[in-house]
Amino acid sequence: MIYITQFIFIHPGKEKQFLEFESVAIPMMEEYKGKILYRIRPDPEQFVDHTGEVPYEIHFIQFNSKQDLELFMKDKRRVDLVPLKEESVREVFLVQGARIG
C-alpha cells in the first residue's frame, strides 16, 4: 500500500473549478485501486496550532501500489482535466508514506 496526504491550497474564488476536477478525479481513483480515506475541509478554529495558512482541503489517499498511482495520474481523462486543477490549485503540500504496524 502507498499512502498520500495532500494539503491543498486553492486560489480565492476558484472553488467551483476545483470541485469540478475533484468530481471526476476522485471516483476515477477506484478504477486504479485507490480511494480517499479522509477528505477534510478544515475550519481554522479546529487547528490547535499552525504556523502557515490553513488549507482548503486535506486528503488522505490510499493506493494498492505505486504503479496503480502512476497509472491513475496518466489516465487521459484525468490529464484532460488538469487545466481545471491548474486554474484552481495554488499549491499542494504532499506527504507520501507507508502504514506502520
In the chain, pLDDT over 70 holds for what percent of residues?
100
Residue range 2-97, CATH number = 3.30.70.100
| pLDDT recorded at residue 79 | 96
Average pLDDT, the chain: 94
For 28-71, how does the pLDDT look when each residue is reduced to its tens digit (9 = 90+)? 999 999 999 999 999 988 888 888 889 999 999 999 999 999 99
pLDDT at 84 over 90: yes
| pLDDT recorded at residue 3 | 97
State pTM to two decimals.
0.89
| pLDDT tier for residue 80 given thresholds of 50, 70 and 90 | very high
Whose cell is 478554529? That residue is 45
Residue boundaries of the structural domains of the chain:
2-97
